[in-house]
Amino acid sequence: MSSETQKILTTDGIPLEVSLKKAERKNKIKAFLLVTPLLLFLLITYIFPIGDMLMRSIDDKMVTKMLPKTFKAMETWDGKELPPEEVFEAFYFDYKKLIEEKTFGKLSTQLNYTKNGFKSILKKLQRKMKKFEDGNYKEQIMEVHSRWANVEYWRAIKERAPNYTSAKYLKGIDMYKNEDGKIVSVAEDRRVHRILWVRTLEVAFFVTVLCFLMGYPIAHLLATLPMKYSNLLMICVLLPFWTSLLVRTASWMILLQQQGIVNDFFVMIGLVSDDARPEMMYNKTGTYVAMTQILLPFMVLPLYSVMKTISPSLMRAGKSLGGTPFIAFWKVYFPLTIPGIGAGCLLVFILAIGYYITPALVGGASGTLISNQIAFHMKSTLDWSFASAMGLMLLSGVLAIYWVYNKLVGVDNIKLG
Amino acid sequence: MALPKYTEPHYRIWHYTYLFICACVFFFLIAPLFVIFPLSFNAEEFLVFSEGMKNLDPDAFSLRWYKDMIYGTKNPWGLAAKNSFIIAIFATLGSVILGTVAALGLSSRHMPFKGLIMATLISPMIVPLIISGVAIFFFMAKAGLAASHTGIVLAHIILGTPFVVITVTATLSGFDHSVTRAASSLGSDPVNTFMKITLPLILPGVISGGLFAFVTSFDEVVVVLFLAGLENTTIPIQMWTGLREQLSPTILAVATCLIILSTLILVTAELLRRRSERLRGINR
C-alpha cells in the first residue's frame, strides 16, 4: 500500500488503528483490575511471607546482635592461635550484658548449634563470672574450663560473624562447614535428615505407584461402563474425596489397630496366629495404606476424564486389524491415556511429598516424613529458621515437579470433580 | 458389561479377574468409611466390635457417644462446631467474591501475563500445606492476627480461592460472551450486566467452587494448628487432638456426622455439575 492511502477514521476523526489500540488497552486494564484484589491479597498474605521464610532461613543476625563487641574485636584475629586479650575482654562484657538482660540462654542454644559443648561451658562461665576481677580476662576465662582455652571454640564463635549463612540448608541435608571452611557430612550415626528426605521420596513414589496400579483399572471401568452404572460407582470415588481427611485417617486407625478388623480378618483366614498379630499402625505400613486410600481419588479423577474422551471404536479397530485384546490395549488405548497418567501421577506425588496429618497420626516414628520434621521445629524446638530452610527445600522440589506438570498438562487443564 | 458369546475362554477369565480387581479397589476406597457407622453406636468404650455387636444384641448399641458429643462434660465439640461453621462461612464468602472477580478478569482475552498470574493465584493449592502454614503463620504473627478468628478466616480464604478460580474459569470457558455484549448494547452498565446476565449463567460454577472452598476450610487442620489459640478450636483441631491423645468413640460420633455432611455436599456438587453441563450443552 502506498503512503497516500487514506487511513480509515472513526466518526470522531481519530484513525481506527489508534482508536482500536486504545480500546484494547482499556480492556487490558479492565481485565487486570478485576484480578488485582485477589492478586494483591495473595501477594501480601502469602507470596511475600514465603519470601520472608527465605530471609529467615539465611538470616544469622541473632548471634551478631548478641555479641557486638566480640565480633568487632575478632576482626583483626586470624583464627590460627588463641585470640588476644581484647577479644576475651569484649566477650566478657558482651556476655555480662546478656546475663543482665537474661537472654544468655539464647546464645548458648545458638552457639551449641555451631559446635557441641558450648552449653555447659557457657553455664559454668555464667556462675564463675560473678567472682571475676577486673583485668586479665583471658586468664580468668580460660581457668573456668579447659574448652575455653581451646582455639576451636573461639573459631566456632567467629564463624557466626557473617549476617547471612547457608548453615541451615547444609544442616537440612546433614552437612556442615568444618573449621577449614570445607563442606562435609556429619558423622554417619547423626544423619537424621537425609533418612527423612529419602523416606519422603520413597513413600511419595510408592504411594504414587500404588495409586496408579489401583486407579487405572477402576478409571477404565468407570469410563467404559454405561452411564447409569458408572454414576453409581463414581460415588465410591467421590465420597472419600469429599470426606474429611481426619475422618478417613480415623477409620484407618480403627481398622489397622492390633485388635482391629483387618487383623481379625487375618486371624480368621489363618494368615497369622491370634497371639502374633502384626503391628500395622505406627509404622510405614500404616502410612502407605492410609495415604494410598486417601490419595486414590486424585489419581482416578484425571485418568477418568482423559479415558472418557477415548472413543471405544479405536479399540475395536485395533482388534479388527488383527491385534489381540492385549496388543490393542497396549498399542492403542494405553498411549492415549498417557496425559491422564501424567496428570494423576504428578498430582498424587506432589500431594504425597508434602503430607503431614496422616503420617503424623498413623506413621509412628518410622513413618514420619519431612513435613512432620518441619512442624516439629516450628512447634517444639522453635528453630523457625531451620524449619523455613527445610520448607523451602521441599518447596523447590515441589515447584520443579509443578513446572514439569505445567509443561506436560498445563495448569489451566486441572479439573475438579 | 456382558461379554460377547464368541469370547475366548482365557480372555473371559481375564475379564472376570479384571472385574474382581476393580471390585476390590472400590471396596478399599469405600469400606473404611462404613466401619465408623456401627462403631459410633457402640455401648462400650472400646473401638472394637464387641461380642454383643457381632450377635446384633440391641443392648450392645447405644446413643451414648452422641449424647456425650452434645452434652458431655467440658464439651469441646459445641464451641468447635460453632467456630468451624463461622470460619468456614466467612472464608467461603471471601474466597467466592475474590475468586469469581479474579476469574472474570482471567478469562478475558485481553488479560496480560495470563500464565504467570494464573500460576500465582492457584499456588496455594500446589504448595504443600505445611509450607503454607509456616508462611501464613509468619504473616499473621507479624500482623498480630495469630490466635484470632480473623487470622484463620484470612488463611482459609488464601487456601480456598484457587478452587473458586479454577471452577469459575472452567465455567466461563464455555460462556458465550455475545450475551454480555448484547446487554451492554441495550444500555446496561457492567455491574448490572454481571448481576443479571453473567452471574445467573455461571452460578453453578460459582457455587461448586464455593463448596470446595467450604470443605477446604471446614476440613483444614495444618494451618489452623499453627494459628489457633484455645478460643479458636475447630472440629478438625479437636479431632486431631483426640486422635493423638486417646481415640474415644465420641470422635466416631463426630466422624459419622461429618460423613453425613460430606454426603450432602457430594450430592449438591454432583447435581450442580450436571446442571452446569446441561446449561453448557455438554449433555451426553
Convert the pLDDT of each residue in B24-33 to its tens digit: 999 999 988 8
Examine residue B60 and state whether it is found in any structural domain, yes or no: yes
For residues B58 and B132, membership in a common domain is answered with: no
Higher pLDDT, B43 or B283: B43
In a domain, B227, yes or no: yes
Both B80 and B40 in one domain: the answer is: no
How far is the C-alpha of A252 from the C-alpha of A235, rounded, in Å?
Answer: 20
Q: State the pLDDT at residue B284.
A: 39
CATH of the domain at B121: 1.10.3720.10
A120 and A158 in one domain? yes
Q: Does B157 touch chain A (CB under 8 A)?
A: yes
Shared domain for B242 and B192, answered yes or no, is: yes
Q: Average pLDDT over chain A, rounded to whole?
A: 84
Q: Which residues of B touch A350 (CB under 8 A)?
A: 126, 128
Note whether B54 and B87 are same-domain residues. Answer: no
Please state whether beta strands A183-185 and A175-177 pair in parallel, antiparallel, or not at all (unpaired).
Answer: antiparallel
pLDDT value of position B10: 82
Which pLDDT score is estimated for A1?
Answer: 46
pLDDT of residue B283: 43
Burial class, A5, CB count within 10 angstroms (exposed 0-12 / middle 13-18 / buried 19+): exposed
B-chain residues within 8 Å CB-CB of A33?
A: 105
Q: Which of B1, B18, B29, B276 to mutate to test the interface with A (most CBs of A within 10 A)?
A: B29
Residue type, B263: T
Of B128, B134, B262, the CB nearest to A388: B134
| Cβ pair B243:A250 closer than 8 A | yes
Contacts of B265 in chain A (CB under 8 A): 242
Q: Does the reported pTM lie above 0.90? A: no
Among chain A residues, the shortest Cα distance to B137 is held by A49
Shortest Cα distance from A200 to chain B (angstroms)?
A: 13
A371 part of a folded domain: yes
Whether residue B176 is predicted with pLDDT greater than 50 in this model: the reply is yes
**Interface test with chain A among B7, B8, B25, by most A beta carbons within 10 Å:** B25
Mean pLDDT over residues A20-45, rounded?
Answer: 91
Minimal Cα–Cα distance from A278 to chain B, Å? 17
A382 and A250 together in one domain:
yes
CA distances from B199 to A139, A329, B202, B249 (A): 81, 44, 5, 45
Listed residues A108, A142, A163: the one ending a domain: A163
* Chain A residue whose CA is closest to B161: A38
Q: What ipTM is given for this predicted complex?
A: 0.86
Q: Whole-angstrom Cα distance, residue A329 to residue A337?
A: 11
Nearest to B131 among A236, A239, A394 (CB): A394
Number of structural domains, chain A?
Answer: 3
Q: Which of B125, B134, B248 to mutate to test the interface with A (most CBs of A within 10 A)?
A: B134
Selected residue of A26, A57, A237, A247 to mutate for chain B interface (largest B Cβ count, 10 A): A247
The verdict on A135 and A53 lying in the same domain is: no
Higher-confidence position of A85 and B4: A85
Residue B3 counted as domain residue: no
Q: How far is A154 from chain B (nearest CA, A)?
A: 34
Which chain A residue has its CA at the smallest distance from B119's CA? Answer: A411
B29, A296 contact by CB (below 8 A) = yes
Q: Is residue B151 part of a domain?
A: yes
User: Rounded CA gap, B237 and B230, in Å?
Assistant: 10
A203-218 pLDDT, tens digit per residue, is: 999 999 999 999 999 9
Residue B190 reports pLDDT greater than 50: yes
Q: Cα angle vertex A306, ends A304, A310, to 5°?
A: 110
Same domain as B19, residue B81: no
A62 half-sphere exposure, CB direction, 13 A CA radius: 21
The predicted model gives A119-138 an average pLDDT of 82
B54 and B92 assigned to the same domain: no
Domain region containing B140 = 74-279
Establish if A338 belongs to a structural domain.
Answer: yes
pLDDT one-digit tens code per residue, A300-356 = 988 998 888 888 888 888 888 887 878 888 888 888 888 888 888 988 998 899 888
Co-location of A45 and A93 in the same domain: no
Q: Is residue B2 part of a domain?
A: no
User: Is B69 part of any domain?
Assistant: no
Question: A383: helix, coil or strand?
Answer: coil
* Residue A37 pLDDT: 94
Residues of B in contact with A393 (CB under 8 A): none
* Residue B265 contacts A, CB cutoff 8 Å: yes
Do A40 and A132 belong to one domain?
A: no
User: A33 with A111, same domain?
Assistant: no
Same domain membership, residue A113 and residue A53: no
Domain range for A263 is: 192-413
B223 — contact with chain A (CB < 8 Å)?
no
| Residues with Cβ within 8 Å of residue B106, at least 6 apart in sequence | A31, A34, A35, B114, B117, B118, B121, B165, B169
Instruction: Give the highest mean pLDDT range of A74-78, A128-132, A388-392.
Output: A388-392
B116 and B233 assigned to the same domain: yes
Contact assessment for residue A343 and residue A330, using Cβ atoms and an 8 Å cutoff = no
Across the interface, of A32, A215, A398, the residue whose CB is closest to B105 is: A32
What gap in Å lies between CA A13 and CA A234, rounded to an integer? Answer: 61
Name the residue facing A34 among B47, B104, B133 (closest C-beta): B104
B4 part of a folded domain: no
Q: Is residue A177 part of a domain?
A: no
pLDDT-derived band at A417, boundaries 50, 70, 90: very low
Do B98 and B51 share a domain, yes or no? no
Q: Can you read off the three cell numbers belonging to residue B70?
A: 452434645
One-letter amino acid at A325 equals P
- B36 lies in some domain: yes
Asked whether residue B60 falls in the same domain as residue B81, the answer is no
Domain co-membership, A151 together with A230: no
Residues on chain B touching A261 (C-beta within 8 angstroms): 35, 49
Is there a single domain that holds both residue B48 and residue B96? no
Q: Answer yes or no: is A38 within a domain.
A: yes
The shortest C-alpha distance from B90 to chain A (Å) reads 16
- pLDDT over 50 (residue B135): yes
Contact flag B134-A391 (C-beta cutoff 8 Å): yes
- Between A223 and B230, whose confidence is greater? A223
The partner residue sitting opposite A237, judged by closest CB among B29, B136, B263, is B29
CB-closest option in A31, A259, A350 to B105: A31
Same domain, A11 and A152: no
B239/chain A closest Cα distance in angstroms:
7
For A8-29, letters b (16+ CB in 10 Å) and e give eeeeeeeeeeebeeeeeeeeee
CA–CA gap between residue B218 and residue B269 (Å, rounded): 16
Number of structural domains (chain B) is 2
> Cα–Cα distance between A386 and B247 in angstroms, integer?
33
> Do both B226 and B140 map to the same domain?
yes
Tell whether B98 lies on the interface with A, counting CB pairs under 8 A: yes
* Residues A258 and A397 both lie in one domain: yes
Distance, CA of B283 to chain centre: 25
Q: Which residue of B has its CA nearest to A51?
A: B135
Tens of pLDDT, residue by residue over A359-402, are: 888 888 777 889 988 998 888 888 888 899 999 999 999 988 88
| Shortest alpha-carbon distance between residue A355 and chain B (Å) | 7
Residue B194 contacts A, CB cutoff 8 Å: no
What percent of chain A is predicted at pLDDT more than 90?
18
Q: Which of B124, B222, B244 lies at the smallest CB-CB distance from A356? A: B222
User: Do A65 and A144 belong to one domain?
Assistant: yes
Q: Identify the band that residue A70 occupies on the pLDDT scale cut at 50, 70 and 90.
A: confident
Residue of B33, B139, B167 with shortest CB distance to A416: B167
Give residue B1's pLDDT.
Answer: 54
Same domain, B42 and B174: no
Which chain A positions have a beta carbon within 8 Å of B131's beta carbon? 50, 53, 354, 374, 391-392, 394-395
User: What is the longest distance spanned by two Cα atoms in chain B?
Assistant: 75
Considering the domain architecture, whether residues A265 and A385 belong to the same structural domain is answered as yes
Who among B1, B36, B157 is closest to A247 (CB)?
A: B36
User: Lowest mean pLDDT: which of A398-407, B25-34, B38-47, B272-281?
Assistant: B272-281
Asked if the model's pLDDT at residue B74 lies above 80, the reply is no
pLDDT of A117 > 90? The answer is no
